[in-house]
């Protein structure tokens, strides 16, 4: 029965208490002021009693946790952001150790504004039991296909980690060049999905997946725009360069690829965090295949502040025309196949 089937949530957020206290002690950062406002409305990000009462609705359900936004790189100079990553990872590891019935593992935070420091913290977090790492779609506006990030991809491949990819954009990214800010939260509804898709494209065309084909990128929100625009990604990008004038050819000259672009896009993994849109999840499953879909909710950012997106993700998976084996794989089998040795066992 679906009520008793194991469900491992591969993309959800939390703020360990010590990390949250230190975060809210920061002054003068608009992101922190906005986060403080949101946290007041979402107590389960910090309050474990509230969170656990909500999770009681879902037998067999455990979470792989990560730090809620903002990215640690946005909290100050590189030395300070590295300290926040360390504090956050200590808190995540402690939560998993103390509550294995609730938390199956954690994905570490790293401050990629200093790659050497990020590598050291990644190694430390893995020694503490991290199952993966959470990154954002850019680092303070810099794309992650810049050469300085190559050692990070190499280390993730060596460590065989799950790489959760979270979008990152705010209202300062205007909708039009003539404006100063995005309106109507377009930066969130559409901008975050563009961010994820642009990240994927830069990873593909810069050859990251050509050089490290076993990297396990988990793309939030069902693989974002890619499944829904696979015709443009496929036949469209098969004609890469045909729309670009000769004097701009360097803009379409990337790493030498050995496959069609769309074949690399199918190498990503996607979660089920589509907020109740079963038709969108169906599209993602058809594009990536059920073996590359991981159950994920984006909890606790739903209108109920915790259980709503978990409930809708379960309902969506149940709506799909899947075999029992495929459904089991999405709920937990796929993430166990990818990082199973790093997951905790619930206390019996």
pLDDT of 25 reads 85
CA dihedral 198, 203, 206, 209 (to 10 degrees): -150
pLDDT of 63 reads 98
Structure tokens at 264: 């690399």
Closest CA to 207 of 153, 163, 246: 153
pLDDT of 1 reads 39
Structure tokens at 298: 């984006």
Structure tokens at 223: 């693989």
Which ranges of the chain have pLDDT less than 70?
1-3, 31, 348
Closest CA to 152 of 135, 169, 127: 135
pLDDT of 3 reads 52
**Residues, the chain:** 348
Angstrom CA distances, 67 to 9, 46, 119, 179, 280, stand at 14, 11, 18, 32, 26
**CA angle 190–194–197, rounded 5-degree value:** 140
3-class state of residue 109 by DSSP: strand
**CA angle 53–56–61, rounded 5-degree value:** 130
CATH architecture of 7-340: Alpha-Beta Barrel (3.20)
Closest CA to 203 of 163, 144, 252: 144
3-class state of residue 88 by DSSP: helix
Angle between helical axes of 17-24 and 30-41 (0-180°, round to 10)? 130
Secondary structure of 243-298 in HEC code, one letter for each residue: CCCHHHHHHHCCCCCCCCHHHHHCCCEEECCCCCCHHHHHHHHHHHCHHHEECCCC
pLDDT of 327 reads 98
3-class state of residue 12 by DSSP: strand
pLDDT of 2 reads 45
Phi, psi at 240, each rounded to 5°: -55, 130
Q: Render pLDDT for 169-193 as a digit per residue (tens, 0 to 9).
A: 999 999 999 999 999 999 999 999 9
């Amino acid at each position: 029965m679906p009520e008793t089937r194991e469900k491992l949530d591969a993309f959800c957020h939390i703020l360990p208490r010590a990390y949250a206290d230190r975060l809210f002690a920061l002054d003068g950062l608009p992101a922190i002021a906005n986060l403080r406002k949101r946290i007041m409305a979402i107590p389960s990000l910090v309050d474990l009693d509230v969170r656990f009462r909500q999770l009681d609705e879902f037998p067999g359900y455990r979470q792989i946790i990560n730090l809620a936004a903002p990215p640690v790189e946005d909290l100050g100079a590189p030395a300070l952001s590295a300290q926040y990553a360390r504090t956050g990872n200590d808190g995540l590891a402690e939560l998993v150790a103390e509550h294995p019935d609730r938390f199956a593992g954690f994905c570490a935070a790293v401050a990629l504004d200093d790659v050497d420091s990020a590598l050291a913290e990644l190694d430390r977090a893995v020694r503490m039991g991290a199952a993966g790492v959470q990154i954002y779609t850019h680092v303070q506006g810099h794309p992650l296909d810049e050469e300085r990030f190559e050692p990070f991809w190499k280390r993730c491949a060596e460590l065989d980690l799950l790489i959760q990819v979270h979008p990152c954009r705010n209202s300062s990214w205007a909708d039009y060049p003539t404006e100063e800010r995005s309106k109507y939260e377009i930066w969130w509804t559409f901008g975050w999905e563009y961010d994820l898709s642009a990240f994927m494209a830069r990873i593909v065309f810069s050859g990251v997946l050509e050089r490290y084909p076993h990297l396990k990128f988990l793309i939030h929100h069902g693989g974002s725009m890619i499944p829904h625009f696979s015709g443009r990604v496929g036949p469209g990008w098969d004609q890469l360069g045909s729309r670009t004038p000769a004097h701009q050819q360097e803009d379409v000259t990337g790493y030498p690829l050995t496959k069609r672009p769309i074949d690399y896009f199918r190498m990503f993994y996607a979660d089920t965090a589509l907020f109740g849109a079963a038709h969108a999840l169906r599209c993602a499953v058809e594009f990536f295949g059920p073996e590359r879909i991981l159950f994920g909710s984006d909890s606790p950012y739903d209108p109920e502040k915790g259980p709503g997106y978990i409930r809708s993700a379960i309902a969506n998976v149940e709506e799909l025309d899947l075999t029992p084996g495929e459904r089991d794989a999405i709920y937990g089998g796929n993430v166990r196949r990818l990082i199973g040795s790093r997951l905790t066992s619930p206390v019996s």
